[in-house]
Amino acid sequence: MAGSSELHEAEIAVERRWPMAAAVLVAVILMASFPERWSVGPIWLIPACECVLLVALVIGDPGRIDRRSNAMRIISIALVAVLVLSTLWNTGHLIDELITGGHATDDASTLFSQGVTVWFCNVIVFSLLFWELDAGGAPARAHGVRQHPDFAFPQHMNPALASASWRPRSPDYSRLRPGGRGRPRPAGPHQLPRRLRRRVRGRTRGTNRPDGRTLSHP
């Protein structure tokens, strides 16, 4: 029984905490660079709340994200929710100033920097949102609680690209982008890691046609 338990633990694809924590810190730093006129209350209030929630997560489940706890799940969802709402708030302010000719449009370099910052915040924050929602969160994915994921990655659709224990990590969710009707979908094969692109190209060479002839792909 002990050996079986150890084998089961070894098969669990546990995700490290630091990539997610680093993404949150980058998002907080980027949001702190926005003008004070966009802030809700004191400019330090929202970043402070986000940092407190992140610290609570790191203390409650440090190192490896493998603790299945309702309290940790609530804190994680709360952190991502604050990040998403803050990002949408800042995006809305930028759009409003673009339409009405606000301060952001007074200088081209300022407008460009704020636009790029808003774009990066959206990429980071929504990748964290998809990471949090997919298959019940990182601990549930690690323990295989759900048989099927909410988002299909190329590694899911072609098991030959990865081992059976493969699970998406937080950086993988930055590859998701809005698909039809606003639903997230995985990026195309051209955005796969180079190692996987080589495998895909190798397996697509020599594809058989219905008439029995062979297609040779470049």
Count the neighbouring beta carbons within 10 Å of the beta carbon of residue 24: 23
Which residue among 142, 173, 191 closes a domain? Answer: 142
The conformational region for residue 152 under phi > 0 = left, psi -120 to 50 = alpha, else beta, is beta
Give residue 191's Cα distance to chain centre: 15
Structural domains in the chain (count): 2
Domain that residue 190 falls in: 154-215
Contact by Cβ (8 Å): 58, 52: no
Pair 173, 128 in one domain: no
Q: Is residue 148 part of a domain?
A: no
Pair 138, 113 in one domain: yes
Pair 6, 66 in one domain: yes
From first to last of its 218 residues, the chain has per-residue pLDDT tens of: 444 444 344 445 677 888 889 999 999 999 988 888 888 878 888 999 999 999 998 888 787 777 777 888 889 899 999 999 999 999 999 999 888 887 877 888 888 999 999 999 999 999 888 888 887 777 777 666 666 776 777 776 777 776 766 777 777 777 766 554 445 555 444 445 555 555 555 554 554 444 544 444 44
Pair 115, 26 in one domain: yes
**Comparing C-alpha atoms, which of 22, 18, 28 is closest to residue 50?**
28
State the number of CA atoms in the 13 A half-sphere of 74 facing the CB: 3
Pair 159, 115 in one domain: no
Q: What phi and psi, each to the nearest 5 degrees, are found at residue 213?
A: -80, 165
Pair 198, 122 in one domain: no
Q: Is residue 23 part of a domain?
A: yes
Angle (nearest 5°) at CA 187 between 181 and 192: 170
Residues β-bridged to residue 15: 65
